[in-house]
Amino acid sequence: MKGSRYLSIFLKQAGCLILLGMIITLVLAPICNAGSKGDLSIGKRVYNKYCYYCHGTEGRGDGAVAIGLTPRPANFVKDAERMKKSDRELFESISKGIHREIGGDELAMPQWNLILTEDEIWSVLAYVRYLSEKGRAEDAKGR
């Protein structure tokens, strides 16, 4: 009798631990993905489809559309302050877009979470980080 009581208690505790583990996994998974670097090949594809028009092929803020924009799009190579932001902060900027009122005109980067998946945004962020590092390395060599 005592053995079955202990087995019953053990099974209830094991079930609770499994349930707790599942809850923790569901809660922490998005936070853990926040630090993921994404997939560079997907990021490059997304960047070349949506971002390079403003930010340029090398991420220097010199895309074909950039000439008509004020202020200019971000230069991921030269803008060290922007690139010091955490991945989470940059992810939020890409997801929610950037909106500013300047001289009565609203300037904006689109709210990309309406078009891209979360994985695509993480991947394009990884590619932007790659462009930034690559560009700084090339500039240091005197490219």
d(CA 69, CA 120): 25
User: 88-92: which pairs have CB atoms within 8 A and are 24 or more residues apart?
Assistant: 88/34, 90/125, 90/128, 91/34, 91/121, 91/122, 91/125
pLDDT in tens, 36-90: 579 999 999 999 999 999 999 999 999 999 988 877 899 999 999 999 999 999 9
SS (H, E, C) 8-46: HHHHHHHHHHHHHHHHHHHHHHHHHHHCCCCCHHHHHHH
82 membership: H or E segment, kind and range: helix 80-83
Query: Quick one: pLDDT band at residue 132, thresholds 50, 70, 90?
Result: very high
pLDDT of residue 30: 47
pLDDT in tens, 103-120: 655 667 889 999 999 999
